[in-house]
Structure formats: structure tokens, C-alpha cells
């Protein structure tokens, strides 16, 4: 018997928004990174190891008729402007109105977006879709492992599942798994119920790291075990949360998808979050003060390769501004031979250096321009221009291998023993190619101070003699008590200890 294919609306709206960053994320940020509409979003996703790649493969397997709407993603940054949010969601809401016969909506979300005046945009979006499409449509979303899962999201979605790795290498599998749950729901094989559990903690699960044995890997192992042993449990997501998101429910959560009204699911969610709570202070990465980092640099090298000073709290990958100067100031004073700093976001200095030309020497005001309150203001210094570049490179490290990227117009400055790479793109350190475009052989550096949290480790950890994670006062703060939370539920660890 020939049946009409099921119509499934698909969209992707992904952003991790640092609530306290003053860099508002606009349409331009999405257009620079990922912004596609209609069929174009599917054709570009086909064959990639992304959520949309997984969703398109699943749709083919289940013979769904996909209605592609919008696919938008921007690098971690400040709150998304209301204008951008409204314009990006409009095509999806219009499709929901135009296709009342859609049986499901499959969304790829981050889960930690923050919009000006709207702390829970994912909850808002799911609710608006629910209102338009009614109770019978299956509303499903994939989430980043750093999602802040809100009650509004849980109330309106039928299905949600998240990544299980950090760095996140299982986007494709997550999209596929979600669609499998959607298909089983549409066939009436399961009657999904979402159970969420949280504790009074804003941080925990070791921020979700799964590179080595950690609270997160232990929790994941237990979760897989429960899925295996308890019939009602269909899927378990462990979410480390994103503590830079100022929403009531911010922080780690456990999300269990149960079949029907089985009591065991809520109990399992509770047990897992209790474990997470008891391990909340356990971390595989420790940050050190600037002074301690400089002291480490003075210790004799026991292995070849640079000592990496990761300026964790200013890492653009976590929403940092990438131009904090506290660590640079200390390194200029320390006079350590072979010190390399950067890339540091400073388009003005890059432009001035390019205008001065290679060999030119002049006064620069380096970095610290975005918000001197976090990590130090601009440094007035005299420097010589060693090299300039358009900043373009092709990634050769393990992260997104073979794809093009760019620092934007950029320059290498020399000031005493310190060389500084200034760039026009606010970009996290991610691989050696970023240094090669300015003629730097980073393996030969003695000390490499970079703006990085996670991704740089893939390409740079193997060549380093060590990594020191530095707390330098940037906006990606590790002492959460310095942040001006307004919406988070209180009391909560570690704010109210």
C-alpha cells in the first residue's frame, strides 16, 4: 500500500549566548558563520557529521518529506538581539502556519541561547510552535551538552536529546538518535514523557569534559547502563549547562525520556543528578593565577616545545572578548625569551600595523578595547611590525580539517622579547595554521600565550611541553560570584556558599 510521506518541518537555530557580554550578536554574526534557508540548508548539510547531516539521513531512511526552513548558527558571543531572533524565527513560524498537516517539527538547538529581554528563547520558540501546531504534532529538539534546559522547554517539547561528548564530536549521532525517537513516536511505538532533574548548582559535571576520566564520563556510563536495563527509559541526556546564561534554570540537568507514565524515569533522573551534585566541585582542569603562570614559565624546560598559557577566561570559544591584556602585561614585564602572544583581537592595531608596513615602528594601543573592566584595558607600547597577512588559512589540525578560516587582516608585532599577533577576527586559538600565516613556527616558541578553552588542545597539546590554564580576569570568569546574575534561582552553588 502506498502511503503519503510524513511531513516534517526542520530548522536549526543554534547559539551559545554569554548573558553578560556587551557584544550583542546580530544577523551579521550569523551571516558570517552559518545562515541558510529552504532547500539550501539541506544540500549543504548532506554528508556532513552535523545534526542536520543526521536528520537528512534519517529522513531518507524513514521516507519523511522534510520542509526545510532556516539553519542559523553564530560563534559564542553576547546576547542575540531581539531583531535578529525575530527575523530568524519568522520563516520557521511561517512554515508552521503554512503546513498545518506537518506531523513533526525537528529542531537543532543549542539550548543556551539568550535574547535581549527573553532569557529562555528556546522555551519561547517551542511554545510558539506548540501553539501554532497543536497538541498532536511531535515537537523534537537536539541540544548541545551545554544547554540550560528550562521547564518551558520540557513542557512544550515531546522529545529532546543532547550530545554526549566534549569536544562535541557526536552531532551527527545526536541528530540521528532524535529522528529515531520521532519515528517511533509517530508510529505509536512509544508515548514519550520528558523528566528533568536539577539541583541547586549552577556549575558541575566538570563542564562536560569527556577527554579523560571525569564526573561526566562516569555519569555517561551510568546513563547508558540505565537505558539498557530499564525498559521505560528511551534516552538519557546529561547536560553540563552553561553558567554564563542568566536564566532561572541555568546549570546542570538530567533529562530522561520515558515511555508512558513510568515512575522509574523520574527516579533515575534524580539519582543521576544527585551523583552530579556530589561531584560538583570535581574538575579535570585547574586555573592558576597570572603570577603562578609566569613562575611556571621560569622553570627550566624538561621537554621540547612551548609552554602554553591558555588565557581561559578570555577565550572567544566561551564568549570571551579575546582582547584582555592582563596576561600580556605580565609577559611584557617578565622578559622571557621566545614569548609568543596571540591571536589577540584588535582590528585597529592590525590596520595601523598594515599601514605602517613591515619594518615600521610606532606606538600602538594594543587590546583591551572591548571592555577594560574584564582583564585589563589597552596597553600603550612601542613595537616593530614583523609581518602582515590577510589572515586566511586552511585548517590542517584535527579540528575541522581542510576547511578554510581567517583571522582577518592581521599583523605580527615585536616588543622586546615578546611577539604579539593581532587579528581582525575575534577568534579562538585553534591550530598552528593561525601562526604559520604570519611566518611563526610555533613549535620553536618558548612560551605561547593564547586565548583558548578547549579546541586548541587538539592541534597544540601534542607539541607543547605543558599547558597552564590561566585565570586573568576575563569575562569567561571561573569565579562565578563576580558575575551580575539576575534571573538564576537562588540560593545556588557556588554563588551562595
CB of 429 to another protein, least distance (A): 20
Greatest alpha-carbon span in the chain: 79
37 binds another protein (CB under 8 A): yes
- Which residues, at least 6 apart from 428, have a Cβ–Cβ distance to it below 8 Å? 315, 316, 317, 322, 451, 452, 453, 455, 456
Which lies closer to another protein via its Cβ, residue 40 or residue 292? Answer: 40
- Scan residues 332-371 and list those touching another protein (CB under 8 A): 351, 355
Among 36, 132, 209, 426, binds another protein (CB under 8 A): 36
What are the grid coordinates assigned to 487, written together?
534571573
3-class secondary structure per residue, 472-488: CCCCCCCCHHHCCCCCC
Q: How many residues bind another protein (CB under 8 A)?
A: 26
What are the grid coordinates assigned to 244, written together?
554564563
Candidates 88-96, 260-268, 307-315, 463-471; binding stretch for another protein (CB under 8 A): 88-96
Which lies closer to another protein via its Cβ, residue 258 or residue 343? Answer: 343
Cα-flanking dihedrals φ and ψ of residue 477, to 5°? -65, 150
Candidates 6-14, 86-94, 147-155, 264-272; binding stretch for another protein (CB under 8 A): 86-94
Is residue 319 within 8 Å of 80, Cβ to Cβ?
no
Rounded CA gap, 6 and 249, in Å? Answer: 35
Which lies closer to another protein via its Cβ, residue 69 or residue 454? Answer: 69
466 binds another protein (CB under 8 A): no
- Scan residues 118-177 and list those touching another protein (CB under 8 A): none
Which lies closer to another protein via its Cβ, residue 85 or residue 456? Answer: 85
Among 284, 288, 406, 478, binds another protein (CB under 8 A): 406
What H or E segment, with its residue span, contains residue 334?
A: helix 326-334
CB of 13 to another protein, least distance (A): 12
394 binds another protein (CB under 8 A): no
86 binds another protein (CB under 8 A): yes
Count Cβ atoms within 10 A of the Cβ of residue 353 and give its class: 0-12 exposed, 13-18 middle, 19 or more buried. Answer: buried
Residue 186 has a CB neighbour count (10 Å cut-off) of 16
90 binds another protein (CB under 8 A): yes
CB of 39 to another protein, least distance (A): 9
Q: Where are the alpha helices (DSSP H) in 77-214?
A: 82-98, 121-133, 151-156, 171-186
Residues lying near another protein in the complex (CB under 8 A): 24, 26-28, 31-32, 35-38, 40, 69-70, 81, 83-84, 86-88, 90-91, 94, 351, 355, 406, 408
Amino acid at each position: 500500500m502506498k502511503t503519503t510521506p510524513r511531513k516534517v518541518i526542520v530548522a536549526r537555530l543554534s547559539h551559545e549566548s554569554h548573558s553578560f557580554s556587551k557584544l550583542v550578536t546580530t544577523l551579521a554574526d550569523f551571516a558570517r558563520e552559518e545562515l541558510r534557508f529552504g532547500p539550501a540548508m539541506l544540500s549543504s548539510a548532506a554528508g556532513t557529521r552535523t545534526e542536520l547531516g543526521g536528520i537528512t539521513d534519517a529522513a531518507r531512511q524513514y521516507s519523511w518529506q522534510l520542509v526545510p526552513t532556516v539553519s542559523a548558527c553564530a560563534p559564542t558571543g553576547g546576547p542575540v538581539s531581539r531583531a535578529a531572533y525575530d527575523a530568524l524565527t519568522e520563516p520557521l513560524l511561517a512554515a508552521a502556519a503554512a503546513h498545518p498537516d506537518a506531523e513533526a517539527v525537528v529542531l537543532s538547538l543549542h539550548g543556551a541561547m539568550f535574547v535581549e529581554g527573553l532569557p529562555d528563547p528556546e522555551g519561547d520558540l517551542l511554545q510558539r510552535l506548540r501553539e501554532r501546531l497543536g497538541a498532536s504534532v511531535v515537537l523534537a529538539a537536539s541540544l548541545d551538552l551545554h544547554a540550560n534546559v528550562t521547564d518551558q522547554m520540557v513542557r512544550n517539547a515531546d522529545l529532546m536529546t543532547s550530545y554526549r561528548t566534549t569536544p562535541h564530536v557526536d552531532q551527527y549521532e545526536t541528530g540521528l538518535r532524535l529522528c529515531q525517537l520521532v519515528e517511533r513516536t509517530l508510529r505509536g511505538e512509544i508515548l514519550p514523557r520528558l523528566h528533568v532533574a536539577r539541583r541547586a548548582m549552577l556549575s558541575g559535571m566538570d563542564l562536560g569534559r569527556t577527554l579523560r576520566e571525569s564526573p561526566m564520563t562516569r555519569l555517561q556510563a551510568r546513563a547508558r547502563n540505565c537505558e539498557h536495563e530499564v525498559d521505560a527509559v528511551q534516552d538519557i541526556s546529561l547536560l553540563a549547562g552553561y553558567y554564563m546564561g542568566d536564566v532561572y534554570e541555568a546549570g546542570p540537568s538530567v533529562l530522561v525520556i520515558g515511555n508512558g507514565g513510568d515512575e522509574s524515569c523520574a527516579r533515575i533522573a534524580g539519582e543521576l543528578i544527585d551523583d552530579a551534585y556530589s561531584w560538583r566541585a570535581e574538575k579535570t582542569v585547574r586555573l592558576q593565577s597570572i603570577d603562578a603562570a609566569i613562575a611556571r614559565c621560569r622553570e627550566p624546560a624538561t621537554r621540547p616545545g612551548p609552554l602554553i598559557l591558555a588565557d581561559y577566561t578570555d577565550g572567544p570559544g566561551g564568549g570571551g572578548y579575546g582582547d584582555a591584556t592582563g596576561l600580556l602585561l605580565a609577559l611584557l614585564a617578565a622578559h622571557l625569551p621566545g614569548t609568543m602572544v596571540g591571536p589577540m583581537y584588535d582590528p585597529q592595531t592590525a590596520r595601523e600595523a598594515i599601514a605602517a608596513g613591515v619594518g615600521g615602528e610606532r606606538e600602538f594601543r594594543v587590546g583591551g578595547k572591548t571592555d577594560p573592566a574584564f582583564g585589563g584595558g589597552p596597553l600603550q607600547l612601542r613595537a616593530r611590525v614583523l609581518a602582515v597577512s590577510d589572515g586566511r588559512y586552511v585548517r590542517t589540525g584535527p579540528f575541522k580539517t581542510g576547511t578554510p578560516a581567517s583571522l582577518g587582516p592581521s599583523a605580527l608585532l615585536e616588543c622586546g622579547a615578546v611577539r604579539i599577533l593581532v587579528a581582525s577576527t575575534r577568534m579562538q586559538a585553534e591550530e598552528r595554521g593561525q601562526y604559520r600565516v604570519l611566518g611563526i613556527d610555533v613549535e620553536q616558541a618558548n612560551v605561547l600565550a593564547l586565548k583558548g578553552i578547549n579546541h586548541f588542545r587538539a592541534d597544540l597539546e601534542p607539541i607543547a611541553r605543558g599547558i597552564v590554564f590561566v585565570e586573568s580576569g576575563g569575562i569567561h570568569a571561573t569565579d562565578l560570584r563576580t558575575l551580575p546574575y539576575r534571573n538564576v534561582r537562588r540560593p545556588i552553588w557556588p554563588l551562595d556558599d
